[in-house]
Amino acid sequence: MRRRIIGLETEYGLTFYPTGTAYLPMEKVIGYLFEEVIPTGWPSNAFLVNGARFYQDTGCHPEYATPECASFKSVVTHDKAGERMLESRLQPARKKLEEEGFTGRLFAFRNNTDSMGNTYGCHENYLVERSLDFWRMAECLTPHLVTRQIYCGAGKVFTVAGQTRYAISQRANHIHEASSSSTTSSRSIINTRDEPHSDAERFRRLHIIVGDTNMSEYTTYLKVGISSLLLTIMEEDGKLPSVVLEDPVDALRQVSLDLDLNMPLALAGGGKMSALAIQWAYLEAAEVHFSSLGPGVFRSLLNQWKAVLTSLDSDPTELADRVDWIAKRQVVRQFMDKHSCGLDDPRVAMLDLQYHDIDRSRGIYYLLERQKRMQRISNDNAVAHAMDNPPPDTRANIRGRFIRFAKETNRPYSVDWTYLKLSGYFEETILCTDPFASHDPRVDELVATAKGDLYHI
């Protein structure tokens, strides 16, 4: 089975509730988060020793971009490592704020919307063969991306026109186009920006910005795994369902509000199919294409996909231990039953938000996890290791070890996804355009020269 480079970019919501009289702009608050992560004098783009990038994004959001990963489990693990990285910065930031006279409570949320109606994203990146026609790929994938929210949605309690409802997706109402080059002004299902961060003649980076960010590791695994599986079918000239939605953006919003999962979606040229039926069609096409596939990751993924769709078809509550929107809805229902209140009770909205609190001592998702009510893909030891170590089988290994050497020896450096440079040594920039290459002899030579001995990175 062909290998693929996959990465996730996650923007986090950040909130500071002051208990004193001093007001502190969010620009200042986020600065305390990045202290020590980005020490004075070091590059502001904050590439880390694990090969990832941790930085401040537009709108004062902390954002973590995973290193290049070559397996679905690796993506899940390094995605959680980014969350732990941010969590580890909360207490030092709170302490620093208090020392400077700013008392209050600092929260970070792994979700997609705030109370002011703003949205922030979780972007998926898949490296695909340049030979694959981009517009054919987008057309084939769009119905899948519209309907996969039935197992990838994060869930949301929201009020519109005085009516409070529960939606499957947080992101759906903020998507306005099927495809666009923008990620802010005209958010789309598929972003058309062509930045492969690799050999541009061989690869293109597929940038998907429609998805919710997930607390559940299992959901993240399904999200990146199934999308990658479908890309493989296209790269191998396989067949996917000939389904074309009449209005993908409208369908996206319809699916988000269809908690019964049976709303018929209009197809181009006539006919209708539900989101669940469309997902079954994709699964059936994948099973045909991979019919001769033996045991392994893809076979396991196909089986899990089928099990999830089967439960959605019969009893979605069976997935409360795997799928975010279902797990959260169960928590909300239990709260409403216990307190005899409705969905419009302000405590329910707070419960919704607390599900996404990344502080493991108080976040509701992590309460469920401690109670063994959520399935995991990774484990705490693997996540802790990923906070300090890059994936060993991708270009991130070169970058991470290079950064570790530069920091340990206090040498200024410059790093991006595709290049490395140690200031004062070798004026030329070392380009690393092969994302699958985990070692580079030029970097070994550079470090050995800089250190003055036979040190090898």
Q: Would you name the residues annotated as active-site residues? A: 57
Q: Is there a contact between 213 and 204 (Cβ–Cβ < 8 Å)?
A: no
Closest CA to 145 of 177, 193, 183: 177
Neighbours of 20 (CB within 10 A): 11
Q: Is there a contact between 12 and 59 (Cβ–Cβ < 8 Å)?
A: no
164 burial (CB, 10 Å; 0-12 / 13-18 / 19+) is: middle
Instruction: Report the C-alpha gap between 421 and 423 in whole angstroms.
Output: 6
Closest CA to 5 of 394, 297, 377: 394
| DSSP per-residue string spanning 297-347 | HHHHHHHHHHHHHHHHHH-GGGGTTT-HHHHHHHHHHHHHHHHT--TTSHH
Instruction: Report the C-alpha gap between 184 and 182 in whole angstroms.
Output: 6
Q: Phi and psi (nearest 5°) for 418? A: -115, 0
Q: Is there a contact between 209 and 187 (Cβ–Cβ < 8 Å)?
A: yes
